[in-house]
Amino acid sequence: MTGRPLCIGFIPLVDAAALIVAVDKGFCAAEGLDVTLVREVSWSNVRDKLNIGLFDAAHLLAPVAIASSLGLGHVKVPVVAPFNLALNGNAITVSPELHAAIMDELSGDRFDPMATALALSRVAAARRKSGAEPLTFGMTFPFSTHNYQLRFWMAAGGVDPDEDVRMVVLPPPYMVDSLGNGHVDAFCVGAPWNSVAVDLGIGHILHFSSDILAGAAEKVLAARRDWAEAHADVLAALTRAHHRAAAFIEDSRHQAVVVNMLARPERLGVSAEVIQRTLTGSLKISPDGVVRQSDRYLLIGRQDAERPDPRQAAWLYAQMVRWGQAPSSSVALATARAVFRPDLYDAALGLKEAAATVGSDAVGAFTGPMFDADDIDGYLAAFEISRQKGR
């Protein structure tokens, strides 16, 4: 269709599954597309190569697509996302020492994020009082759901993420080593790296991201807006191929094929067993073998997870405003919402009616008011800890 092969960048994470399966199972070829996947280490690499045209499309953090379109943190390059590669899929993993400290201070259910956030606040306060260094939390990028999920959770318990702890950026494949050598006390990252830390005996999964937000847009298939407009037929074909791949992944009869496909060294390069746990939502959360099951841990092709929802983009933009990354602006909000393109998704698949969306407010946060995508300032006014300009 384009007259040349397409080059698409990805990070070795399970939420790239639809992209990998679309190519390796032949769904892209069936649409007349010749696609080469390029494995990258960092999100900045993926963003930059997409922006300058080395990548035609990319597996991209949903907030990076918005930040790029707004010109936040880098050059302004409008991006569109016609397909959600995943909702959820992250987890907060802590060192054995921090896990023990939180459990010692815990009052309530260990899987209740409010209870653990309050316990973390007591741990942080005790460290301040003793003169100890602040706890260090790793996240994958300033404009990432990992950053916003950590901040949302901490702040709910009274922990100021900019004053009471340190937040540092680490590429996903480097998280485990950083926890093991003591450079960080905890991290939030996507699968499979939380499970790898648990299997090595150096981490405990404290929370699934779905404990914090029932449905959070995590990764998208992203393309530059000018490229998308010039190659509308190609983008539609990519969307259809990914739709077929997502359905293939969610069919349990294909699980062994999918798992082995993702496990290959040039794709994720981790054990098939770890990937299988992720796709089934049955994760070992502690080195002693405790397993936790969640049907919302990672949503790829079910519950309409693949259809972009502009309300999700609005929530991510609201987090940028809350944490001082962006000013509050009706124009910026409209730009953020316009990154998520359900119209392109519907047109590619020949849908006449909009599919259902996840949750009444599209996010389902564990605390705080219901999110109103039309009243960002009113929503953010309910939170005591904020870096919103003008507050």
pLDDT digits (tens, 9 = 90+) for 33-44: 999 999 999 999
Region 26-33: mean pLDDT is 97
Q: What is the largest CA-CA distance in the chain?
A: 65
Question: pLDDT at position 33, please?
Answer: 97
| pLDDT: which is higher, 295 or 357 | 295
The CATH fold of domain 90-212: D-Maltodextrin-Binding Protein; domain 2 (3.40.190)
- Residue 361's pLDDT band, with cuts at 50, 70 and 90, is confident
Question: pLDDT at position 391, please?
Answer: 65
Distance CA 264, CA 316 (A): 33
Residue 213 has pLDDT above 80, yes or no: yes
Residue 359 has pLDDT above 50, yes or no: no
Residue 26 has pLDDT above 60, yes or no: yes
- Domains 6-88+216-267+301-380 and 90-212 equal at CATH topology level: yes
Query: In the chain, what are the helix, strand and coil shares in percent, each to the nearest 5?
Result: 45, 15, 40
Pairing of strands 291-293, 186-190: unpaired
- Residue 211's pLDDT band, with cuts at 50, 70 and 90, is very high
pTM, full prediction: 0.96
Residue 3 has pLDDT above 80, yes or no: no
Question: pLDDT at position 352, please?
Answer: 80
pLDDT digits (tens, 9 = 90+) for 106-136: 999 999 999 999 999 999 999 999 999 999 9
Specify the CATH superfamily of domain 6-88+216-267+301-380: Periplasmic binding protein-like II (3.40.190.10)
Domain boundaries, the chain: 6-88+216-267+301-380, 90-212
Phi then psi dihedrals of residue 221, to 5 deg = -85, 115
- Residue 54's pLDDT band, with cuts at 50, 70 and 90, is very high
Distance CA 236, CA 58 (A): 15
Residue 371 has pLDDT above 60, yes or no: yes
Region 277-306: mean pLDDT is 96
pLDDT digits (tens, 9 = 90+) for 299-338: 999 989 999 999 999 999 999 999 999 999 999 999 999 9
pLDDT digits (tens, 9 = 90+) for 68-86: 999 999 999 999 999 999 9
Residue 353 has pLDDT above 70, yes or no: no
- CA end-to-end span of the chain, whole Å? 51
Cis before 287 (ω within 30): no
- From the list 34, 81, 148, 149, the residue with the least C-alpha distance to 306 is 81
Question: pLDDT at position 389, please?
Answer: 80
Distance CA 298, CA 304 (A): 13
Question: pLDDT at position 319, please?
Answer: 98
3-class DSSP string for 60-107:
EEHHHHHHHHHCCCCCCCCEEEEEEEEEECEEEEECHHHHHHHHHHCC
